[in-house]
Chain A
Amino acid sequence: MDKALTPDSPDQVLDAVAQALDQGRPLEVLGSGSKRTLGRPMYGAQPLVLSHLEGITSYEPEELVMSAHAGTGLDVITATIREHGQHLAFEPPDLAALLGTPNTATIGGVFACNLSGSRRIKAGAARDHLLGASAVSGRAEAFKCGGRVVKNVTGYDMCKLLTGSYGTLAVMTEVTFRTLPAPAEAHTVLIRGLDDKAAIIAMTRALAGPWEVSGAAHLPRAVAAASRVAELADGGAATLLRVEGPKPSAADRAKGLGEGLGDLGTITGIKGDDALVVWREIGDAAFFAGGDGRQLWRLSLPPSAGAEVVDVLTITQECRAFYDWGGGLVWLELLDPASASPDAVRAAVAASGGHATLIRADAETRSKVAVFQPQPEPLARLTARIKENFDPKGILNPGHMYDGV
């Protein structure tokens, strides 16, 4: 394989893409590679590593906005904004432990993959927090989109196009995103022993109430057992509801939530560091770390269908699953490589509506199986036309999302 290109300025990124375009040679666009194995594998592409293109270029805490070069480490950014009591509200997950990759996510990679954690249900996804970007398209032309303000309808919302495009349309060189006040405190309400369907009902009630729930997850017994929080690991299934906000009203809401769900079982709570640990585990799907390359799927579903989809799958698949987003996000590990059936997963999702992404599998499986949800024909053609317009020679992460795109 060719040596990795390691540009440290937007101009050098432009040069790198121009060179690849000139030579008709594909590039594998990477931040630091922490999510490198998420997607269809690319063979023979020259790595374009953005992690040297780093540095916060502007931070205005009072405007709740930061700009940074795409290769800036997520850890650098979170540490900087934490000093001002701010955070990335969409809780970007850290999938390194799951994927066996370096734990060095870059901010560009966070937005390129559009992955969001438990607070997605209240604060929105990564895509809702990207305000602006500079990028180099597969035409080796630099362009910018968006701005530095939240309210902006000037032209197409091109930031949305780049978020979640996994580097297949353009190489982002700089991103501008929202930094929001971190809540003063968080409370986690815990209900033990609910089966999956009862847990979905509990979460639905919590989310339909006035308590401003910012996390709603359910860990069936087999998943809870893998938690590093001792109290959770040996108490059976756990349904967790998080309430955040200013002191003391967040506590008041948590109390109201507990009372509101009191008829469903014994209400307790998780405190302090234990709560931080388990919400981190939920966001990162850390219960499935390691896993010897067992297939791991991430399903986005209508929340009320979550338990049903898992139920149907357990008929043919030996699996472990847990729920986030009030049931709308299911992480599903297929335990038996011999019988693991992507078709079964996709069929179950098709019945409820939604989509499934194969987050972890060996390279051979990821070459053969559609990693991202296959699209119906008119939409697939539209996707291909967009790729063609932004990257006509197919030099940016070709085939990384869809075969031939």
Chain B
Amino acid sequence: MDMPKPDESVLNRRDGIIAALGELLPGDAVITDRDELRVYECDGLTAYRQLPMIVALPATVDQVSRVLRYCFENRIKVVPRGAGTSLSGGALPLADGITLGLAKFNRILEIDYGNRLVVAQPGVTNLAITDAVADHGFYYAPDPSSQIACTIGGNVAENSGGVHCLKYGLTTNNLLGVELVLINGEVIRLGGKHLDAGGYDLLGVVTGSEGLLGVITEVTVRILPTPPAARALLIGFGSCEAAASCVSAVIGAGIIPAGMEMMDAPAIRAAEDFVQAGYPLDVEALLIIELDGTAFEVDQLVDSIEAIARDNGASSVRASADEEERLKFWAGRKSAFPAVGRISPDYYCMDGTIPRHRLPEVLGRIAKLSSQYGLGVANVFHAGDGNLHPLILYDANKGDELERAEAFGAEILKLCVEVGGVLTGEHGVGVEKRDLMGTMFTEDDLKHQQRLKCAFDDRGLLNPGKVFPILHRCAELGRIHVHRGRLPHPDLPRF
């Protein structure tokens, strides 16, 4: 993984930059000590580490604006950071860059039940939003597995999902507004307390932009009434094909469950060993399907899905009778990653999305790749929306296993694209999948994405080295090309 070459002239100015930041921020908000910087050297993708040049921890919008303006004028790179839980290296520091941490933006600013929304600072955790409104019978729907730690600002930057996005959507579908500071220090507001932001959908564009377009300083999200009832089904199958066809049949019956998760045999065994969730061990695939809504509707749909499961050859079907049992069904799935961590020194989590009906074929080919690379793999998926999380098992201390794991992972992602899917469903491109962008997009596709970047940040100072494998200069992207020598156009129909 090559990062942009650090700019010696910036590194040489480090003392001056520290002094300048000291003018803009309180003393304790500028971190320069090597040991303290160590805390920020990586995010959730721990295979890549880099000490930042400086860490700045502003506490107000004005401070963010002034720091960005300074960086803009002095051409210093900036890496925004929330809680650092990204799994794709989106918050990986740059040797010649300032990591801008938003941790001090940790307050919920407004809860508006009448308009069913919460206004929060970006450093508030995802779960804290639900916690703040739960007593009034509301919750915030997107629930990434890191929700106890990840921040809402980071969720916007990554367009985070979770197990319930099948029915309730990703961050982008639950976001009403943001306040955003541009690299030149200008502060803009996109959206607000109303639906549809108006003008170009820059709210939609900023969501999932991985810190490349601006720094989010305020977030407004929709909250939903908590469904009065929820039940889960635990369904075992003798083959992944049968489980996949059950998933298709459920959706074909017009049912969109709150969540529809799948695990393969290695993942089931690891989870059962870890938390004793009561998973059947004589199956090749397990589905956990959750229904929520009124008790009447949930019971009705549980019955429908039980019938569909049996029609699709389920070897075991259990429906949760009470809340305790429902949580137990989920316990194994929710601990699947740490459970796999117990059976392997390291694992590498992938995140492609595929069309649902290609699942059996993709699993078959992942199994073949597994023997080819000599590395085990456990599969968990958000089956309802075709989002795969193969966990590649390796030991970083053993020879070339890390390199093999990365190569294996890249093959899986290319496979996802080949069958009509995408490189990443919810974890982001970051540095991890940056060099694979060319498998999904043409040069012209990527250039148009970068032209959007040029409109926001034409000096390329915000989070460079992430998402795009080649950094074109905006001046170069701005040139108009003459087209294919096909002018004039005699064949063009007109009336």
Interface positions of A (Cβ within 8 A of B): 3-8, 12, 14-16, 18-19, 21-22, 52, 60-65, 85, 114, 116, 120-121, 124-125, 127-128, 137, 139-145, 147-161, 163-165, 169, 180-184, 204, 207-212, 245-246, 248-249, 252-253, 256, 300-304, 325, 328-329, 353-355, 357, 372-373, 375-376, 378-379, 382-383, 385-386, 388-390, 392-393, 401
Q: Which of A64, A253, A328 contacts B195 (CB 8 A)?
A: A328
A392 contacts B441, C-beta separation under 8 Å: no
CA distance A379 to B201 in the complex (A): 12
Q: Which of A12, A18, A152, A156 contacts B353 (CB 8 A)?
A: A152
Q: Which residues of A contact B433 (CB under 8 A)?
A: 154
Q: Which residues of A contact B449 (CB under 8 A)?
A: 145, 155-156, 158
Q: Which residues of A contact B422 (CB under 8 A)?
A: 147, 149, 151-152, 154
CA distance A155 to B115 in the complex (A): 32
B182 contacts A378, C-beta separation under 8 Å: yes
B494 contacts A153, C-beta separation under 8 Å: no
B300 contacts A137, C-beta separation under 8 Å: no
B467 contacts A385, C-beta separation under 8 Å: no
Q: Which of A16, A144, A249 contacts B445 (CB 8 A)?
A: A144
Query: Given A6-B494, A63-B357, A378-B182 in contact, is the A210-B293 Cβ separation under 8 Å?
Result: yes
Q: Give 4 closest A-B pairs by Cβ, nearest first.
A: A160-B204, A181-B254, A151-B425, A249-B297
Q: Which residues of B contact A304 (CB under 8 A)?
A: 112, 114-115
CA distance A21 to B489 in the complex (A): 12
B489 contacts A15, C-beta separation under 8 Å: yes
Residues 176-212 of B, flagged 1 when their CB comes within 8 A of A and 0 if not, give 0000001000111110111111111111110111001
CA distance A155 to B225 in the complex (A): 32
CB distance from B267 to the nearest CB of A (A): 19
Q: Does B251 contact A (CB under 8 A)?
A: yes
Q: Which of B161, B195, B481 contacts A300 (CB 8 A)?
A: B195
Q: Which residues of B contact A3 (CB under 8 A)?
A: 494-495
Query: Given A140-B483, A181-B256 in contact, is the A249-B161 Cβ separation under 8 Å?
Result: no
Interface positions of B (Cβ within 8 A of A): 112-116, 137-138, 158-159, 161, 165, 169-170, 172-173, 182, 186-190, 192-205, 207-209, 212, 225, 227-228, 248, 251-252, 254-256, 293-294, 296-297, 300-301, 304, 353-357, 382, 385-387, 420-429, 433, 437, 440-442, 444-449, 451-456, 467, 477-478, 480-484, 486-489, 491-495
B205 contacts A157, C-beta separation under 8 Å: yes
Q: Which residues of A contact B420 (CB under 8 A)?
A: 147-149
B429 contacts A155, C-beta separation under 8 Å: yes
CB distance from A216 to the nearest CB of B (A): 12
B188 contacts A376, C-beta separation under 8 Å: yes
A149 contacts B225, C-beta separation under 8 Å: no
CA distance A383 to B197 in the complex (A): 13
CB distance from A5 to the nearest CB of B (A): 5
Q: Which residues of B contact A253 (CB under 8 A)?
A: 294, 296-297
Can you name 19 extra interface pairs (CB under 8 A) apart from A128-B172, A149-B421, A154-B440? A3-B495, A6-B493, A19-B488, A22-B487, A149-B353, A149-B420, A149-B422, A153-B429, A158-B448, A161-B204, A184-B254, A210-B225, A210-B227, A211-B294, A252-B297, A302-B112, A303-B114, A382-B455, A389-B454
CB distance from A57 to the nearest CB of B (A): 13
B426 contacts A15, C-beta separation under 8 Å: no
A382 contacts B456, C-beta separation under 8 Å: yes
Query: Given A139-B481, A147-B421, A204-B114 in contact, is the A63-B356 Cβ separation under 8 Å?
Result: yes
Q: Which of A85, A141, A246, A390 contacts B481 (CB 8 A)?
A: A141
A151 contacts B353, C-beta separation under 8 Å: yes
- Which chain B residue lies CB-closest to A354? B194
CB distance from A18 to the nearest CB of B (A): 4
CA distance A379 to B252 in the complex (A): 44
CB distance from A44 to the nearest CB of B (A): 16
Query: Given A143-B448, A392-B478 in contact, is the A161-B201 Cβ separation under 8 Å?
Result: yes
A62 contacts B251, C-beta separation under 8 Å: yes
A354 contacts B193, C-beta separation under 8 Å: yes
CA distance A125 to B174 in the complex (A): 11
Q: Which of A7, A149, A159 contacts B386 (CB 8 A)?
A: A149
Query: Given A5-B492, A300-B194 in contact, is the A390-B353 Cβ separation under 8 Å?
Result: no
Q: Which residues of B contact A329 (CB under 8 A)?
A: 195
CB distance from B36 to the nearest CB of A (A): 31
Q: How many A-B residue pairs have CB under 8 A?
A: 307
CB distance from B410 to the nearest CB of A (A): 14
Query: Given A149-B353, A389-B454 in contact, is the A8-B493 Cβ separation under 8 Å?
Result: yes
CA distance A141 to B443 in the complex (A): 11
Q: Which of B190, B300, B387 contacts A151 (CB 8 A)?
A: B387
Query: Given A7-B492, A85-B254 in contact, is the A15-B486 Cβ separation under 8 Å?
Result: yes
A62 contacts B195, C-beta separation under 8 Å: no
CA distance A2 to B227 in the complex (A): 58
Q: Which residues of A contact B356 (CB under 8 A)?
A: 62-63
A/B interface sample: 11 pairs, CB < 8 A: A18-B484, A147-B440, A152-B353, A153-B424, A154-B440, A155-B429, A156-B453, A211-B294, A248-B300, A372-B199, A382-B455
Q: Which residues of B contact A127 (CB under 8 A)?
A: 196, 201, 204
A125 contacts B195, C-beta separation under 8 Å: yes
CB distance from B386 to the nearest CB of A (A): 6
CB distance from A289 to the nearest CB of B (A): 23
CB distance from A95 to the nearest CB of B (A): 16
CB distance from B99 to the nearest CB of A (A): 22
CA distance A148 to B115 in the complex (A): 33
CB distance from B183 to the nearest CB of A (A): 11
Q: Which residues of B contact A392 (CB under 8 A)?
A: 478, 480
Query: Given A4-B494, A6-B495 in contact, is the A153-B254 Cβ separation under 8 Å?
Result: no
CA distance A182 to B353 in the complex (A): 25
B196 contacts A300, C-beta separation under 8 Å: yes
A386 contacts B386, C-beta separation under 8 Å: no
- Chain A CB within 10 Å — which of B201, B202, B444, B481 has the most? B201
Q: Which residues of A contact B355 (CB under 8 A)?
A: 60, 63, 65, 148-149
A128 contacts B252, C-beta separation under 8 Å: no
B169 contacts A153, C-beta separation under 8 Å: no
B425 contacts A153, C-beta separation under 8 Å: yes
B187 contacts A378, C-beta separation under 8 Å: yes
CA distance A153 to B211 in the complex (A): 13
CA distance A141 to B449 in the complex (A): 13
CA distance A132 to B228 in the complex (A): 35
CA distance A59 to B483 in the complex (A): 33
Q: Which residues of B contact A161 (CB under 8 A)?
A: 200-202, 204-205, 452
- Which chain B residue lies CB-closest to A64? B251
- Which chain A residue lies CB-closest to B227? A210
Q: Which residues of B contact A139 (CB under 8 A)?
A: 480-481
CA distance A148 to B385 in the complex (A): 11
CA distance A12 to B493 in the complex (A): 8
B169 contacts A128, C-beta separation under 8 Å: yes
B301 contacts A141, C-beta separation under 8 Å: no
Q: Which residues of A contact B437 (CB under 8 A)?
A: 154-155
CB distance from A303 to the nearest CB of B (A): 6
Q: Which residues of B contact A149 (CB under 8 A)?
A: 353-355, 385-386, 420-422, 425
CB distance from A166 to the nearest CB of B (A): 9
CB distance from A39 to the nearest CB of B (A): 13
- Which chain A residue lies CB-closest to B113? A208
CA distance A163 to B198 in the complex (A): 11
